[in-house]
């Protein structure tokens, strides 16, 4: 069976969930071969647990010092040497950018934000704020896709991967955009927004940065991540990186709770594919109710504290 290359994304020293999902998809297409660029060796075990039969490890100090291009060079070299059946990349900003550059180098079509990839290479994408489902194919080259987070449930399939060291020579062009500093902004103990199985978001209705404590409290009680509408981030209620929607993150959790969010189409673009949607809004006409599985028409400042109290009580 041909190899299927999966580019590994490591965050906080751990393989991220989207990578495990990509490995899960890769297994149905061929032999999953994980590609680790400039990351710690201890991720190999996790990759094996999720079915990677091989781990290509490119670990040179300088691979970390430049934006995107070195990872493209590693992948380009592996595609040329291993003739894989497909290349899967987690669909983060960086992942999409790597896929784009790789597509140019290989003159190979690229499909972005793919939810499913069938054995025959047909990809499923959900576009236009979740309103349209597209089936598409790469017609030049192999399927080169970025896999949208929360598309599948990662399932283990333990193997012991063979680790294959990879060495690459970076060109001057690879070194043209240098990363001089990386700053991790504290997100506390909450799960990563795009990976969380529960997301609790607040909108303009929350009213202030201080009131966002209510949103955080409910999120913490449910073990979820906190999100925000653009009106909330633009008003400075919550940091921009937590924005959900067309110009923010796309989330697809098991449960999405919208507090004081009207449900504008651009917000829906980022959360419409959530499994269960719950909304609290004092306006019975708010469009968010059109997609909510459960809605409470009421003042969030009464409903949310009461709900929090009840959850605490039930938890004992």
Partner 1 sequence: MNIVVLVKQVPDSSAERSLRSDDNTVDRESANNVINEMDEYAIEEALKLQEAHGGEVTLLSMGPERATEAIRKGLQMGPDKGVHIVDDALAGSCALATSKVLAAALRTLSPDLILCGAEATDARGQVVPQMVAERLGAPALTGTRKLTVDGTSLTAERQTEEGYEVLTASTPAVVSVWDTINEPRFPSFKGIMAAKKKPIQTLTLADLGIAADEVGATGASTAVVEHSKRPPRAAGTRVEDSGEGGLALVEFLSSEKFV
Ligand X SMILES: Cc1cc2nc3c(=O)[nH]c(=O)nc-3n(C[C@H](O)[C@H](O)[C@H](O)COP(=O)(O)OP(=O)(O)OC[C@H]3O[C@@H](n4cnc5c(N)ncnc54)[C@H](O)[C@@H]3O)c2cc1C
98 binds ligand X per the rule CB under 6 A: no
Q: How far is CA 233 from the centre of its chain?
A: 20
Question: Among 43, 44, 168, 198, which residue sits at the site for partner 1 (rule: CB under 8 A)?
Answer: 198
Of residues 178 through 217, those in contact with ligand X by CB under 6 A are 203-205
Residue 30's SS3 state is coil
37 binds partner 1 per the rule CB under 8 A: no
How many positions of this chain bind partner 1 (CB under 8 A)?
95
Q: Choose among partner 1, ligand X, none what residue 101 binds, the Cβ cut-off being 5 to 8 Å by kind.
A: partner 1
Give me the sign of the Cα torsion angle 244, 250, 256, 261: positive
> What whole-number distance in Å separates Cα of residue 294 and Cα of residue 109?
41
Task: Considering the complex, state which of residue 2 and residue 104 has its C-beta at the smaller distance from partner 1.
Answer: 104
Question: Among 96, 152, 170, 204, which residue sits at the site for partner 1 (rule: CB under 8 A)?
Answer: 96
Asked whether 114 and 21 are in contact (CB, 8 A), the reply is no
Q: Choose among partner 1, ligand X, none what residue 216 binds, the Cβ cut-off being 5 to 8 Å by kind.
A: none
Question: Among 20, 52, 72, 286, which residue sits at the site for ligand X (rule: CB under 6 A)?
Answer: 286
38 binds partner 1 per the rule CB under 8 A: no
> What whole-number distance in Å separates Cα of residue 156 and Cα of residue 208?
43
Token pair, residue 61, equals 């100090």
140 binds partner 1 per the rule CB under 8 A: yes
Q: Which residues contact 213 (CB under 8 A, 6 or more apart)?
A: none
Question: Among 45, 62, 81, 309, which residue sits at the site for partner 1 (rule: CB under 8 A)?
Answer: 309
């Amino acid at each position: 069976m041909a190899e299927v290359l999966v580019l590994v994304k490591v965050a906080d020293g751990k393989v991220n969930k989207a990578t495990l999902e990509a490995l899960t998809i890769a297994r149905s297409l061929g032999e999953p071969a994980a590609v680790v660029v400039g990351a710690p060796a201890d991720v190999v075990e996790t990759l094996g647990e999720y079915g990677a039969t091989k781990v290509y490890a490119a670990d040179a100090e300088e691979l970390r010092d430049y934006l995107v291009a070195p990872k493209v060079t590693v992948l380009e070299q592996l595609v040329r040497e291993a003739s894989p059946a497909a290349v899967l990349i987690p669909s983060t900003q960086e992942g999409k950018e790597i896929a784009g550059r790789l597509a140019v180098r290989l003159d190979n079509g690229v499909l972005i934000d793919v939810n499913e990839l069938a054995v025959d290479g047909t990809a499923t994408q959900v576009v236009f704020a979740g309103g349209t489902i597209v089936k598409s194919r790469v017609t030049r080259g192999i399927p080169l896709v970025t896999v949208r987070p929360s598309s599948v449930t990662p399932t283990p399939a333990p193997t012991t991967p063979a680790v294959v060291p990879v060495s690459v020579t970076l060109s001057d062009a690879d070194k043209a955009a240098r990363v001089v500093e990386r700053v991790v902004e504290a997100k506390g103990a909450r799960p990563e927004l795009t990976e969380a199985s529960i997301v609790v978001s607040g909108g303009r209705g929350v009213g202030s940065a201080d009131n966002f404590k209510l949103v955080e409290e409910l999120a913490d009680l449910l073990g979820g991540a906190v999100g925000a509408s653009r009106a909330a981030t633009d008003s400075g209620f919550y940091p921009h990186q937590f924005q959900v929607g067309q110009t923010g993150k796309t989330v697809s959790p098991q449960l999405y709770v919208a507090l004081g969010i009207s449900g504008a189409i651009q917000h829906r673009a980022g959360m419409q594919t959530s499994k269960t949607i719950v909304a609290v809004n004092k306006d019975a006409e708010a469009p968010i109710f059109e997609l909510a599985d459960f809605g409470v028409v009421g003042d969030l400042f009464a409903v949310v504290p009461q709900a929090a109290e009840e959850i605490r009580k039930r938890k004992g």
